[in-house]
Copies of this chain bind each other. A is one copy, B any other.
Amino acid sequence: MGDTSGAGEPPLEEQIAAYQREFQDLDPQVEKIVSALSRLNRRMNVAYGRQTADLGISNTDWEVLKALVLSGAPYRLGPGDLAKRLGLTPAAMTHRIDRMVTEGLVTRERDETNRVRVIVELTSEGREKWLEAMRLASVFEEDLLQDLSPDDRTALGEVLTRLLRRVEHAQPDAGGRLSDLD
């Protein structure tokens, strides 16, 4: 199924061998793919996390920034809408916004046309942080894929989206929010 912690981890091959000892009905080839995928993803997240931490933003902040930026100019969304996009309850969203307002990443104001609604808007500082994080990330990503030829990249992208399609169609998706399980 993959890996878990990332700290004192054994080499991939070793761990797969251990899995086989403990669970005979295991296809090593399948397990290699799944474990590598999971481990790779975890390592990337560690790298991203370090980069964003250097910029002074948390993972939860990052999610909100991303949702706002992806909504397009003028980068405004209501708390309820944000909550839906991030898979949170409105209450959790309120707290996140509180924090981010004090951090200067977003502003919160009432909608003057409908005073029940609230509008969360990205500040220029928030946008700048997002851009800076993206710059760091794209450097990291380019470096990660450095050894892959253009053909390799095309093939990999194609295979991964094929797998993704399979998962997304098979899964109704209950909005779960789960850490590494492997």
A12 touches which of B6, B19, B164 (Cβ 8 Å): B164
**A137 interfacial contact with B, CB 8 Å:** yes
Complex interface residues of chain A between 1 and 50 (CB less than 8 A to chain B): 1, 4-8, 12, 15, 18-19, 21-23, 25-27, 29-34, 36-41, 43-50
**A99 interfacial contact with B, CB 8 Å:** no
User: Would you call A174 and B33 a contact (CB within 8 A)?
Assistant: no
B residues near A63, Cβ cutoff 8 Å:
4-5, 180
Complex formed: what's the CA distance from A38 to B180 in Å? 12
Complex formed: what's the CA distance from A12 to B166 in Å? 13
B residues near A171, Cβ cutoff 8 Å:
43, 46-47
A145-B163, A163-B145 known; A43-B173 Cβ under 8 A: yes
User: Would you call A45 and B178 a contact (CB within 8 A)?
Assistant: yes
Residue in A15, A47, A175, A176 whose Cβ sees the most chain B Cβ within 10 Å: A176
Complex formed: what's the CA distance from A181 to B54 in Å? 14
The SS class assigned to the A binding surface is helix
User: Would you call B157 and A156 a contact (CB within 8 A)?
Assistant: no
User: Would you call B1 and A134 a contact (CB within 8 A)?
Assistant: yes
User: Would you call A46 and B173 a contact (CB within 8 A)?
Assistant: yes
User: Would you call A142 and B30 a contact (CB within 8 A)?
Assistant: yes
